[in-house]
């Protein structure tokens, strides 16, 4: 099926088709087919006006969720495995700016956590290992490191 779609994409009249286009289309079709095969919608919640408030779906052994601001933009996304936070979590402002980026492994905080301002500048970074904070960094509005502490 993918080959048939690619051949249709390649036959686009006189427009040259680049390897980038073919690679993009291949990746797109592969992503769509994998998502369609593995994801199972569990529930969708709506605001009183009918716009989407939250979506939860199962993907393999993980339950993923996405919540939305009232304007329709993504508010938060993350996942659970065996009832515990696991993997990447992100929080967004109502304008779409990333406010927080964090990681969990089996319910424990893990890796670099980054917090940003509404103007997209880094405010703070925290480094975790197996749920224990290792380092903290604070930045000013210009992005300069103003404080750092190892734990």
140 lies in a domain?
A: yes
Give pLDDT, residue 119.
Answer: 86
52 lies in a domain?
A: no
Going by C-alpha positions, the residue among 67, 64, 73, 65 that lies closest to residue 46 is: 67
- CA dist 79 and 58 (Å) reads 9
- CA dist 91 and 87 (Å) reads 14
Q: List the CATH number of the domain containing 80.
A: 3.90.930.1
71 lies in a domain?
A: yes
Give pLDDT, residue 122.
Answer: 95
Give residues with Cβ within 8 angstroms of 61, minimum separation 6. Answer: 81, 82
143 lies in a domain?
A: yes
- CA dist 111 and 103 (Å) reads 6
Give pLDDT, residue 28.
Answer: 54
Beta-bridge mates of residue 114:
101, 125
Helices 19-38, 2-10: crossing angle, 10 deg rounding = 150
The count of domains in the chain is 2
51 lies in a domain?
A: no
Q: Domain range for residue 97?
A: 59-151
Give pLDDT, residue 38.
Answer: 76
Query: Mean pLDDT per 10-residue run, the chain (151 residues)?
Result: 38 50 56 64 96 96 97 97 97 96 97 94 96 97 94 95
Residue 63 and residue 42 share a domain:
no
- CA dist 40 and 144 (Å) reads 44
97 lies in a domain?
A: yes
Give pLDDT, residue 118.
Answer: 86
């Amino acid at each position: 099926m993918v080959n048939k779609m690619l051949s249709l994409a390649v036959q686009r009249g006189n427009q040259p088709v680049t390897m980038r286009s073919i690679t993009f289309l291949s990746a797109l079709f592969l992503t769509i087919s994998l998502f369609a095969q593995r994801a199972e919608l569990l529930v969708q919640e709506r605001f009183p006006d009918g716009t989407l408030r939250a979506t939860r779906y199962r993907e393999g052994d993980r339950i993923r969720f996405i919540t939305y601001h009232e304007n329709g933009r993504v508010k938060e996304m993350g996942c659970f495995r065996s009832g515990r936070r696991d993997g990447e979590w992100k929080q967004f402002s109502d304008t779409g700016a990333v406010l927080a980026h964090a990681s969990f492994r089996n319910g424990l905080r893990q890796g670099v956590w980054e917090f940003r301002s509404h103007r997209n500048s880094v405010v703070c970074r925290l480094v975790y290992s197996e749920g224990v904070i290792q380092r903290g960094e604070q930045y000013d509005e210009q992005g300069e490191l103003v404080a750092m502490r190892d734990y």
